[in-house]
């Protein structure tokens, strides 16, 4: 490359969003934040919504700030967000209501209703996606059951990043990785499972054509370019699901690894060229989501640091506002191997009080609940680390080969205690970093779309050259971890 290329990545997470400039010189990539903003859901009456219009305004503000600080010569823009949630457009592309938050309780009980329409095994066979009540399919089913007038008036469904892309460009597309989270895509054809969609009484006409990560969608609209003070910058589809972008930035140099994209959720898995759909993967509730460059992300969605985030929110309401660093320090000082929870118990998906939910779980399972802030956070982190081991063993059984290394990427890498606990619980070496994996993967897929790079291997070599990584060897204290793991397994054995 003759000069340093500039890309703008918009990375929206469940708690916050940001605009990040990626500078790429052909050998290394570096990032610079230009705008950060909160992403707080809004509860209106009994429903939890995303404030999507405000998020779009923040993206436009981020674009303007990037142009002001670094000039207008950007080679691309890319947007990644969380999965499953969507907006509906009606006549003349009017947004029909506010998009609901996946933790809204409207989908409570929808899995059982869905299985009464199409058997569980058939849904999994057609989609390869794990069963979570938050999946788009069950959100739509809940609207249908409630006889929502919005569903009747809808002409187009856009997942969150595709909706924002449409507002930026006027072009209607759906990117593969974000579409796959819906549980309405066939992972073999990599297109909509229209027969399944029709069986649920939904219209396939709601959905637009699916494009691959790295696809150039179109230039930003003239009015947005004028507002930002730039020209027609092209918008690319990166891995629009934030986990897809994060996995692109996993700095692996060999194939014998698993990844954990660690944040609000912990997404743990491997990359495969084809989906893995069997009775065993169904029973373990593993998922086959879309990846970059023709890959499938075969993984398990684990509750993640949401557990700690919600405990922190409860303590803040009680007048004890602790930073995440403070909470981790308190956890490090707490006694090891106290009470444990099953992180993916449905009680932890959207409780009114996470601490009360944890205490109820401990009481229900014959354990003494944690009695301090440090013990509570330690319970969350040790339980997550042990769930990583359970997931690792399942991955190895489906892969028929030992996994030597676990790469942890994303914001959770800043929790050094969790990284060490993950190494100890799994008895594997953990390599942590980069922290900004999602934004890095977003930028690198734009660079691939521009033709500056040509493969995932090349992208990952760039990551290794560009960012510092930290290695966590497992501790030798195996007996205590084996005893703790047996306790976690006992949760799975209970009816």
Alpha-carbon dihedral of residues 424, 429, 435, 439, nearest 10 degrees?
A: -130
CB 491 within 8 A of CB 438: no
Give the separation between CA 340 and CA 361, rounded to whole angstroms.
9
Question: Does an H or E element contain 111, and which?
Answer: helix 110-117
CB 290 within 8 A of CB 282: no
Kindly provide the b/e burial profile for residues 261-279, where b requires at least 16 CB atoms within 10 angstroms of the residue's own CB.
Answer: bbbbbbbbbbbeeebbbee
Nearest to 447 by CA among 273, 255, 169, 213: 213
Three-class secondary structure of residue 73 per DSSP: coil
Given the residues 242, 352, 424, 479, the one annotated as active site: 242
Three-class secondary structure of residue 114 per DSSP: helix
Q: What sign does the dihedral 283-109-102-354 (CA atoms) show?
A: negative
CB 300 within 8 A of CB 252: no
Q: Extract the tokens encoding 283.
A: 């029973």
85 is catalytic: no
Q: Where are the beta strands (DSSP E) in 318-464?
A: 405-409, 429-432
Question: Does an H or E element contain 49, and which?
Answer: strand 47-49
The two beta strands, 5-12 and 76-80, are parallel
Q: What sign does the dihedral 14-15-20-26 (CA atoms) show?
A: negative
Q: Which residue has the tokens 């409860």?
A: 314
| 463 CB-near residues (< 8 Å, 6+ apart) | 29, 249, 250, 251, 434, 440, 444
Q: What is the DSSP letter of 234?
A: E
Give the separation between CA 433 and CA 409, rounded to whole angstroms.
5
Omega cis (within 30) before 402:
no
Q: Which residue has the tokens 């891995």?
A: 239
Which residues participate in catalysis according to the annotation?
Answer: 242
């Amino acid at each position: 490359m003759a000069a340093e290329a500039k890309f703008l990545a918009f990375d929206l997470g469940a708690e916050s969003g940001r605009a990040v400039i990626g500078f790429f010189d052909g050998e290394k990539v570096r990032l610079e934040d230009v705008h950060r903003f909160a992403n707080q859901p809004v509860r209106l009456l009994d429903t939890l919504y995303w404030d999507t219009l405000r998020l779009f305004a923040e993206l436009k503000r981020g674009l303007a700030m990037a142009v002001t600080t670094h000039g207008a010569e950007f080679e691309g823009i890319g947007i990644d967000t969380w999965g499953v949630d969507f907006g509906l457009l009606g006549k003349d592309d009017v947004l029909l209501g506010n998009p609901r938050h996946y933790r809204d309780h409207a989908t409570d009980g929808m899995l059982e209703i869905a299985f009464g329409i199409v058997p569980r095994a058939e849904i999994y066979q057609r989609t390869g996606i794990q069963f979570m009540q938050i999946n788009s399919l069950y959100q739509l089913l809940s609207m249908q059951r409630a006889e929502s007038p919005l569903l009747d008036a809808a002409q187009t469904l856009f997942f969150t990043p595709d909706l924002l892309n449409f507002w930026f460009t006027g072009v209607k597309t759906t990117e593969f990785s974000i579409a796959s989270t819906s549980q309405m895509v066939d992972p073999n054809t990599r297109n909509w499972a229209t027969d399944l969609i029709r069986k649920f009484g939904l219209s396939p006409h709601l959905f637009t054509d699916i494009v691959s990560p790295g696809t150039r969608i179109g230039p930003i609209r003239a009015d947005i370019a004028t507002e930002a003070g730039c020209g027609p910058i092209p918008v690319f589809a990166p891995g629009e699901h934030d986990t897809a972008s994060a996995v692109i930035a996993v700095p692996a140099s060999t194939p014998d690894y698993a990844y954990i994209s660690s944040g609000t959720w912990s997404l743990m898995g491997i990359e495969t060229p084809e989906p893995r759909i069997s009775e065993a993967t169904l029973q373990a509730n593993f998922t086959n989501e879309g990846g970059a460059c023709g890959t499938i992300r075969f993984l398990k969605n684990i509750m993640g640091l949401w557990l700690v985030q919600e405990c922190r929110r409860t303590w803040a309401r009680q007048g004890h506002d602790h930073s995440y660093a403070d909470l981790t320090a308190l956890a490090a000082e707490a006694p090891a191997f106290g009470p444990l929870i099953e992180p993916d118990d449905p009680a932890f998906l959207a409780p009114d009080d996470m601490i009360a939910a944890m205490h109820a779980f401990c009481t229900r399972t014959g354990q003494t609940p944690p009695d301090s802030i440090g013990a509570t956070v330690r319970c969350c982190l040790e339980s997550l680390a042990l769930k990583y081991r359970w997931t690792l063993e399942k991955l190895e059984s489906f892969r028929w080969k030992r996994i030597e290394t676990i790469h942890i990427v994303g914001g959770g890498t800043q929790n050094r205690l969790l990284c060490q606990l993950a190494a100890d619980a799994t008895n594997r070496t953990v390599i942590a970093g980069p922290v900004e994996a999602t934004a890095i993967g977003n930028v690198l897929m734009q660079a691939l779309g521009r033709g500056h790079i040509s493969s995932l291997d090349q992208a990952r070599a760039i990551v290794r050259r560009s960012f510092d990584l930290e290695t966590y060897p497992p501790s030798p204290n195996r007996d205590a971890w084996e005893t703790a793991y047996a306790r976690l397994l006992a949760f799975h054995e209970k009816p």
